[in-house]
Chains A and B, each alone.
Chain A
Amino acid sequence: MASVSEMYDVTWEEMRDKLRKWREDNHRNSEQIVDVGEELINEHASKLGDDIWIIYEQVMIAALDCSRDDLAWTCLQELKRQFPGSQRVKRLAGMRLEALEKYEDASKQYDSILQDDPTNTAARKRKISILKAQGKSAEAIRELNEYLEQFVGDQEAWHELSELYINEHDYGKAAFCLEELMMTNPHNHLYCEQYAEVKYTQGGLENLELSRKYFAQALKLNNRNMRALFGLYMSASHIAASPKVNATVKKANVKYATWATNQINRAYQGNVTNRVPGC
C-alpha cells in the first residue's frame, strides 16, 4: 500500500497543516484523516513536537468513526500516558466505549466526569448522543431540553434539538429552536432557509406567508441559494392558489412566483447538460 505522502507527493508539514485545516473547519472526512494521521503518527512523531497530542485526539475520533479500534486504542493510550486524570481524555475514553456500544460503561464514565466538574458541557452532550444512538429520541429530547435550560447559548445543541423535533414531526418546537439560531447568526442563509422549510411544512396561510418571507431573506443573504429560490416559488404559488386569499394578495404572490420562475430560468440557461445538484 502506497503511503499518503507518496501518492499525493506531499511533505509531512503539508500533511500536518492539512490536518489542522480539517480540525478548524470541523470536517468529518474520517477516512482521510485516518490515512493522513496514521502516517504522521507512525513516521513523523518526533518532528511534530507538541502538535502530536491534538493530532492524536483528532485521529482517535476519526478512527472511531471508521471502526479502526486498534488505532483508536493506541491514540488513547498515548494520551492517557501524557495527560493522566484529564477530563478531556476521559471523554475520549467514553467515546471509545460508545463506539463499542458499551453504553452503560460510557454513561458511567461521563457521570464520573460530571461529578468532578458539573459545568462540563462535553460530557453532558455525549450522554445525550448515547440516548440518540440507542434510538430513545423522546428521552434524548427531554435531556437536551434540560441541558439547554442551563446552557442557553449552545448553538450546536439548539441545532441538534431542532433536528430531533423535525424527526418527531413537532414542527412548532423545531421552528422555535431555529429562531434561536437565526437570532444568534443573522447572516447565515442556511438557518433562514431551514426555518422557511419548517414553516412551509407546517402549512396554513400564515405559515406559508412566513416561509415565503424567510425564503426571500435567505436569497437576499445568498443570491445563489437555489433551494430558497425554489422554495420562494413554491410558497408564493401555493398562497396564490389558495381559495382563502383576496385579490390583491393573490396578484402580489403571482408576481413573486413569476419573478422566481424568471430567475430560475436565468440560472439554468445555457447549462442544459448540467443536472440540478440535489434540490
Chain B
Amino acid sequence: MAEPELLLDSNIRLWVVLPIVFITFLVGVIRHYVSILLQSDKKLTLEQVSDSQVLIRSRILRENGKYIPKQSFLMRKFYFNNQEDGFFKNTKRKVVPPSPMTDPSMLTDMMKGNVTNVLPMILIGGWINWTFSGFVTTKVPFPLTLRFKPMLQQGIELLSLDASWVSSASWYFLNVFGLRSMYSLILGQDNGADQSRIMQEQMSGAAMAMPADTNKAFKAEWEALELTDHQWALENIEEELMSRELDLDGMFNSKH
C-alpha cells in the first residue's frame, strides 16, 4: 500500500508513548507487591505431603531402579503393586472436588486474583482511553484489515485511516503483554504482575482439583510401574571398568 506516511508530532512520542510505558510498568510492579501482601497461606495436610512424596518415590523407582539389585527392585515393586495389599491398589483417598462455591478459601483466592489483576487493567485502560483520546499514537508494523478499526482506533473517527494506526488504548494493552519479560527480569520468575500467566491459570485452574488427582495419579503410577522392567545397570560393570586403566592423575599431590 503505497500511501503517504503520516508524520506524527514528536510530542506524542514524548508525552504519550513513554508515559504509557511507565504507567504500565509501575502499575505492574505495584500489583506484584500487592499480591504478595494479600497472599494467603497455603496449608497442606500431612496426607497431601505424604502422597506427593510417595508418588515421587515410585517415579524414582521406575527411572533409577536399574541401579539397585533385582531382588530389591522386585521387593519394592511388589510393595506398591501387589494385588491384595499393594499401596497403589489399596489406598483410596477421599475425593472432595473443591468447587469454588463450597471451598471458601478458593473463593477468596479467586476474588483476590480478580481484584489485583482484572480490575486495575480495566480501570487504567479506561482512564488512558479517556485521557489520551482523539489522536493516533503509533503504527503497528504489519498491515491489518478494516475489521480491526473500531477495536484499535477508539475515538478516532476517520474512515480512510489505515487500520495499522492505533490509539493509545491499544498501545496500553500492547504494553501489558509486552512487559511480561521485563517483569521476569526485574521481579524474578513467578511474579504477581504476570497477567497472561494468571489468566491461563484461571482457565485451567478449575480443572485441577488435587484430591481427585491423587486417586488418578495412583492409578497411573500403578500402571506405569507394572510395565517397568528391571535392567540391571551393573550387569557387566567389571568388564566396563577394567577395559581401561583408572584415571589416577595427580592423586597424591600435596595440594590434593
- Chain B at the A interface: mostly helix, strand, loop or mixed? helix
B5 on the A face (CB < 8 A): no
Contact with A along B229-256 (1 / 0, CB 8 A): 0000110011011100111100110000
- Chain A at the B interface: mostly helix, strand, loop or mixed? helix
B131 on the A face (CB < 8 A): no
A42 on the B face (CB < 8 A): no
A214 and B251: CB pair below 8 A? no
A46 on the B face (CB < 8 A): no
Size band of the A side of the interface?
35 or more
B53 and A267: CB pair below 8 A? no
Within 8 A of B (CB), among A103-153: 118-119, 150-153
B61 on the A face (CB < 8 A): yes
List, in ascending order, chain B residues with CB within 8 A of A179's CB: 68-69, 72
B65 and A183: CB pair below 8 A? yes
A213 and B234: CB pair below 8 A? yes
Within 8 A of B (CB), among A173-211: 175-176, 179-180, 182-184, 186, 210
List, in ascending order, chain B residues with CB within 8 A of A86's CB: none
List, in ascending order, chain B residues with CB within 8 A of A219's CB: 241, 246
The 8 Å CB contact of A267, one of B69, B234, B242, B248, is B248
List, in ascending order, chain B residues with CB within 8 A of A259's CB: 242
Docked Cα-Cα span, A163 to B61, in Å, equals 22
The 8 Å CB contact of A182, one of B44, B57, B67, B247, is B67
List, in ascending order, chain A residues with CB within 8 A of B17's CB: none
List, in ascending order, chain A residues with CB within 8 A of B237's CB: 213, 216-217, 220
Closest CB of chain B to A173's CB: distance in Å? 12
Chain B residues within 8 Å of A, Cβ to Cβ: 44-46, 49-50, 53-54, 56-57, 60-61, 64-65, 67-69, 72, 233-234, 237-238, 240-242, 245-248, 251-252
User: Could you pull out 23 A-B pairs where Cβ atoms are within 8 angstroms?
Assistant: A118-B46, A119-B44, A151-B49, A176-B72, A182-B67, A183-B65, A183-B67, A186-B67, A216-B234, A216-B237, A217-B67, A217-B233, A220-B240, A223-B246, A224-B246, A229-B246, A252-B238, A259-B242, A263-B246, A267-B251, A267-B252, A271-B252, A274-B252
Chain A residues within 8 Å of B, Cβ to Cβ: 118-119, 150-154, 175-176, 179-180, 182-184, 186, 210, 212-214, 216-217, 219-220, 223-224, 229, 252, 256, 259, 263, 266-268, 271, 274
